Chains A and B, each alone.
Chain A
Amino acid sequence: MATKKYWKGLEELKNSPEFVKNANNEFAEQVSVEAFLGDNNLAVNTGTDRRDFLKFLGFSLVAASLAACETPVNTAIPYVVKPEEITPGVANWYASTYFDGRDYASILVKTREGRPIKISGNPISKVTNGATNARIQASVLSLYDSSRLQGPTINGKADTWSNVDKEIAQKLAAITNKAGSIRILSSTVISPSTKSVIADFTAKYPSTKHITYDAISYAGITNANAKVFGQAIIPSYKFENAQVIVSIGADFLVNWIENFSMPYAKNRKVSKDKKEMSKHYQFESNLSLSGANADERIPVKVSEHGKVAVNLYNEIARLAGIQSIPSTKLPCDAIIKKVASDLYNNKGKSLVVCGSNDTNLQLIIIEINTLLGSYGKTIDMETPNYLNQSNDKEFADLTSEMEAGKIDAIITYNTNPVYTAPGSLKFAEAYNKVPLRISFADRADETAALANYICPDHHYLESWNDFNPKKAHYSLSQPTIRPLFSAVDSGTRQAQETLLKWSGSSVAYYAYIQKIWADKVYPMQGKYMVFSEFWNNSLHDGAIEVGNGLEALPSNTKDKSQQPIVEIKEEKKLPEQINLKEIANKINSLNSSEIELALYEKVGMGNGIQANNPWLQELPDPISKITWDNYVTMSPVEMKQRGYKLMERQDREASVVSITVNGTSIELPVIPQPGQALGTIGIAVGYGREKAGKLSLQTGTIIGKNAFPFISMLDGTFNYSAFDVKIENTNKTTEIAGTQVHHTLMAREIVKETTLEKYLKDPKSGNKDEMLITHAGPKKAATIDLWDEHEKLGHKWGMTIDLNSCIGCGSCVIACGAENNVAVVGKDQVMKTREMQWIRIDRYYSSDMNKDIASEVGEGAIDMYLDMENPSTANPKVVFQPMMCQHCSHAPCETVCPVLATNHSSDGLNHMTYNRCVGTRYCANNCPYKVRRFNWFNYNENKDFTFNPSQDDLGRMVLNPDVVVRSRGVMEKCSMCVQRIQKGKLDAKTAERKLVDGDINTACAEACPANAILFGDVNDPSSEISLLRKREENERNYFILEELGVKPSVSYLTKVRNCDETIEEGKSNKKNSETIEA
């Protein structure tokens, strides 16, 4: 073996003793500390000199200032133990149910990281079929309402549940001992379990009586049905089966009994394959949403509604060869005759409804429907609707009992009678005379504020409950979040659990519901063999339909609370003998007065239960387009006579008038409402809530005025109209926050429409192609282009909106706002035309003037256009047109942005890059559709906008984490829910499949109860939208302002009216007015 020696260096080779010593001592000892410090020289040399001092000074200054900079407080805490069902960034959906005593819908709740953020309809439900309305869509924000009570109160002071329970139990026991009366006053209860809970409570305190009272009552219909059929019920109306619909003052689309927009719209669609559509007549005094959608609308004074019904009965009776009843002559008798023959010719396919709460009037309607054979066809008596069980008489009796001091305790649940009761009943005074007043209200509202005890209930999104909206239909609600206010012995508590506790039971309401369902609902179905399976599936689906329904019928019998809830057999009384003559005489005896008032509900505010919800306050009314207020609607003709401000030419200033009914008066602005019957005015209820919550503080004023006191009692039912009305001009003016201040189309082909007759002859009627004149003759506008086509790569998202289906209800506006975190800007900003909503519904009235008339009467262009600005005052036709970013393929906004903040995506979207936006607003100017919205202020921080949900710690929780909250100075607009598109694509990618049609839907299309909006990929030839566009290509499909060459991605389908020629009417109107002037 070779003995080679390797060395590391010459030192090692030399191997001197010094080297050996050092090599062994690897860590050589340095100068000792003492020696170092002792070295005076060193100390002198290392003294801090001026330069070092400055360096240190500079360093410490920078360090100190950096340290002084505030580190943002990050309150987001990651999960320590991640709940199994929650994956950050992935939404969970729960089926649940919305019912507030007014609106019912089976819903799906989208939750993100445990927070409910969006409501959409549950298509499984056979009652609502996935339809919702704006109020239901907005209810998710009401969960995060910081005005809600965070625990029980005793006489207005926060207290603990144990104290409250103890005191109340004692007091209730004392009342029971002395045989005093206890009343539970609630809005309609459709929950079998809740009824059972009330029964348990009644068992413990036998002097209890449950009284059902709804602010908007349909007792007239229940009473009439009781008289005729012996069943005090409201039947199910089947608008989808009706070929001829006649409504006398019933705004049935969103605001009557239930949301009928979906079945109604179903029969309004026409196409190559469906050449029929329903014909809808509407007799009414206010221009309602239903009236706006009607084919023929006949303005009638409120006092004449009954006479219209009587005359209609007579005409039908004549056709049927039945004896007529006494009648009075009406100006609209000719139309009634036509309506009657239309109805009679469609026997079994027609439906007459009436919005009046007068039993007599409803009796006539029942007789009409009987003559028309509607029962069993368009009216389903077998499936009663349980949503409105108000017993107005019992409520009035209760008030007088309370007044007389006969009631010892009153428990109010889900009702606010101090605010909603008729003024004549003086409910508040009577209420204060009750010694023990308990409220389950979630806030100290008008009634609860007067109560001794407020025991706040959970929000419905925090609760368990069950519902029985119609016979044989059940649904459940389940908590989608832990109660927001839950502290030991404080926080909110489910009202049912509270009642159970007072009845001495400590069972959880969840278990209670399960038991009720196991006992009562489960046996009615035959699908599931095991209860747990049935329960889990019902909970999963949210809504179920069971066999032929052996369940309870709500009845107005006095002692129903003592009967078992579910097993009640339908209690059939013998039908009374109806003396139609007498009724007709009674109706005919009603004299009309100079000014008649009809109260109505707005789509946004309803009965005012969600008055503290800024989304709903900012939702433009479908008809008036006014936000943040109620007002008096009056015919412009009468306003002119009375010298009120006519608000013409985009004027926002309105006269303020004082309205006095039965000694109660309120001051409200008066707005011109074309189509308002002469001699009538309308006022919306649901406004003027003084104790709804913080919103009125934040906006600095109580929003609107309360018109509920104007309700009167008529034959034991609430009458929502008044005939003794005094109007006085206060000579004050106020500004109105309308989102649309010009009301006519100015003869522009923005909304294309035709009549059914013309459509059947020529499917392209009303949809004339825009032609451009070229050297080679006229060419279709769409074929001429300055720009190159985009490459057809992958998807191209588009929308098609059927103007025939859109009823203008505004659900899409709220759904869009919730999905896209659209800011609430408040009344002042709306008055400055700065509303933020990404989708709006343009509402146009027809005008008495058009180009044909002008050339006929020889009117010049200036006068013609001036005349066109004014809607027909008497009875305009109304069209609705949803308008959002049209995602133009050749978008004018894109070319003018100097910083490329808005640009085109490969899948056909017009993107908005907020980060890049400098805010020149050039894009907004250059947008032909005016859909761009600018952040004029920092709505999320500016203290003038504290009502904006994103300024509230609680309200902020409603924000969709997938969508950025825009800051000051940037432009925004509809993104076609790009976050949903992205999610759809990613889901498909993860599942390794192709994206299929229907994977993605926008919030507006999803929320539309009329299925008017269809979203999809127009590059996919098999997608629904491509098929629709192909089918309608040479028929009804059109693009707004196609001649500009901007190539929008959103198309519209011509509106088809089932009525006679409109132009002819316009002509005659014009001629009439001329002759009058002459």
Chain B
Amino acid sequence: MQHESEIRTPLILGNKSYHQISEDIARPIEGKSTKLWYILLTISAILFLWGIACLSYTIGVGIGVWGSNNGVAWAWDITNFVWWIGIGHAGTLISAVLLLFRQKWRMGINRSAEAMTIFAVMCAAIFVTLHTGRPWLDYWLFPLPNQFGSLWINFNSPLVWDVFAVSTYFSVSLVFWYTGLIPDFAMIRDRAVKPTFKKIYSILSFGWGGGARHWSRFEEVSLVLAGLSTPLVFSVHSIVSMDFATSVVPGWHTTIFPPYFVAGAIFSGFAMVLTLLLIMRKVYRLENYITIKHVEYMNIVIIVTGSIVGVAYLTELFISWYSGVEYEQYAFLNRATGPYWWAYAAMMTCNVISPQLFWFKKLRTSLTFTFIMSIIVNIGMWFERFVIIVPTLCRTYLPSSWNMYHPTFVDIGIFSGTIGMFFTFFLLFTRYFPVIAQAELKSIMKSSGQEHKDKRAH
């Protein structure tokens, strides 16, 4: 049982009983969907379908339908990939790192954050697999024994490291998420009255019995997976950053990238968690579980990581100047003052300046402001990846090859398609999956004698 100091605001408000929690969590699954849910699902699904159409067009005709070109060979594809992967990081951080640090407040949000991770990595995977010229040969990137002779993959290539990093990350995250879901599925199963419903959830819950042995194993697996996931939080984006850092391209070839990418990833991930949760708590009336406290904590994480990112930006500028290398210096000068200065300005404003507003308590506890900020931060982080990729490639060593990049409707279509896919999956998740880890949550209720304490206080 959780022992909390009296002066601390409880993590769950509203004096919930165990049953009430079960009721609250199961309500969206057992009840009827709201109109709002249908509207959102329709919009997301349309976007998703449009994305599928654009993807099919790309696969059918060639990636020439994008705006990428010989100078800017990567553009929105890799921008979106890094963006989505970054967003995924918050989920793992919340569930694994905060678990290890015994931050109990994470329990209100970890389930949906992890779901977000899974869906975000799926979106990222779309870009990383389909950005190749011949995606049907992508399996050549895996070290598969083959009949092509002694052909093997190039372990020097950061793209190969990416393959390992992302696939490991996805599978571990998925297992971790699902493990946590098992007791909750069992709860739904136990409450279910309709036979098919019961059947489905009994399959999903893997025959969970709720016995002490089950709980013991559950706790052990959770801890082991948390241990496994924790390094992944740092490794995945470090490795993604090495796609850039190990190259010779001025503006990419910087050792600061790994920490800076990880901080940026957590930054954008928390912003995305906030975007999702602020909607969800309203729609599913989960205000008692996802409280202002949660929002404030996350906003603090955003200030910290946002500041780290800001320092990284400035460090980059300083180091490029300090290096004395013409190309390095120009690469950064070009980001800020070149033809894509507006992207750099957007990045700086959204990522460095605006999060500093959270120093004001009033602002960081305001839900509306937080919601707007969460979106601004993600716009800023998208621009950060865009700034790293496109303006850098636009102007590399030989000025004769400098050129511009313009996205096509397909680029935009696929990106909005992944957003559609992400929300479609997330909406389905909120409808059919327990959105809060109720089993864990029940462990932090201030139940023992709480009522008596309350009475005495009056």
Contact = CB atoms under 8 A, between A and B. Distances in A.
Interface of A: 649-652, 740-748, 750, 829, 832-835, 840, 842-844, 861-862, 865-866, 881, 883, 892, 895-900, 916-922, 924-926, 928-930, 932-938, 942, 968-971, 1040-1041, 1044, 1046
Interface of B: 61-64, 67-74, 131-134, 137-138, 140-141, 148, 151-154, 156-160, 163, 243, 246-249, 326-327, 329-330, 333-334, 337, 339, 393-404
Given A746-B399, A969-B133, A930 B70 contact: yes
Contacts of A861: 329, 333
Interface on chain B toward A: helix, strand, loop, or mixed SS? loop
A413 to B, nearest CB: 43
B73 A895 contact: no
A898 B157 contact: yes
A871 to B, nearest CB: 11
B69 A926 contact: no
Given A922-B159, A928-B248, A916 B151 contact: yes
A896 B151 contact: no
A519 B157 CA distance: 72
Given A742-B403, A921-B133, A928 B397 contact: yes
Contact of B69 (A834, A897, A916): A834
Contact of A918 (B140, B148, B249, B399): B140
20 contacts: A649-B339, A746-B399, A747-B326, A748-B398, A833-B71, A833-B403, A842-B400, A896-B247, A898-B153, A898-B154, A918-B140, A920-B132, A924-B70, A926-B249, A928-B396, A930-B71, A930-B398, A932-B70, A968-B62, A970-B133
A77 to B, nearest CB: 32
Contacts of B326: 747-748
Contact of B337 (A745, A750, A865, A929): A865
A212 B132 CA distance: 58
Contacts of B64: 829, 834, 936-937
Given A895-B156, A921-B74, A900 B151 contact: yes
Contacts of B131: 920
Top-5 shortest CB links A-B:
A919-B133, A969-B133, A936-B64, A842-B400, A930-B401
Contacts of A933: 70
B140 A968 contact: no
Contacts of B74: 921-922, 925
A917 B61 contact: no
A939 to B, nearest CB: 9
B132 to A, nearest CB: 5
Given A862-B333, A896-B159, A970-B134, A936 B63 contact: yes
B54 to A, nearest CB: 16
Contact of A748 (B134, B140, B393, B399): B399
Contact of B398 (A842, A925, A938, A968): A842
Given A742-B399, A861-B333, A928-B396, A917 B70 contact: no
B288 to A, nearest CB: 49
A1044 B248 contact: yes
A179 B80 CA distance: 81
A934 B134 contact: no
A898 B159 contact: yes
Given A922-B157, A934-B133, A937-B62, A844 B73 contact: no
Contacts of B159: 896, 898, 920, 922
A880 B429 CA distance: 61
A892 B154 CA distance: 13
B398 A934 contact: no
Nearest to A863: B337
A342 B112 CA distance: 84
Contacts of A968: 62, 133-134
Most buried by B among A740, A746, A920, A938: A920
Nearest to A851: B326
A831 B324 CA distance: 35
B400 A918 contact: no
A920 B400 CA distance: 23
A834 B153 CA distance: 28
A970 B62 CA distance: 11
A744 B400 CA distance: 8
Contacts of A938: 62
Contacts of A921: 68, 73-74, 133
A924 to B, nearest CB: 4
A975 B63 CA distance: 24
A745 B156 CA distance: 33
B158 A896 contact: yes
Given A921-B68, A935-B62, A968-B133, 14 more contacts: A741-B402, A748-B397, A832-B67, A842-B400, A843-B400, A862-B333, A883-B400, A896-B159, A898-B153, A924-B70, A926-B247, A928-B248, A929-B398, A970-B134
Nearest to B158: A896
- The winner among B64, B160, B393 for most chain A CB atoms within 10 A is B64
B380 to A, nearest CB: 23
Given A842-B398, A920-B159, A896 B246 contact: yes
Contacts of B151: 899-900, 916
B403 A917 contact: no
B74 to A, nearest CB: 6
Contacts of A937: 61-62, 64
Contacts of A650: 339, 394, 402-404
Contacts of A926: 247-249
Of B70, B141, B151, B329, the most chain A CB neighbours within 10 A belong to B70
A835 B401 CA distance: 12
Contacts of A649: 339, 404
Most A Cβ at <10 Å: residue of B72, B73, B394: B73
Contact of A916 (B140, B246, B247, B393): B140
A968 B58 CA distance: 12
A808 to B, nearest CB: 12
Q: Which of A650, A835, A883 has the most CB of B within 10 A?
A: A650
B69 A833 contact: yes
B69 to A, nearest CB: 4
A897 B154 contact: yes
Contact of B61 (A741, A833, A834, A942): A942
Contacts of B394: 650
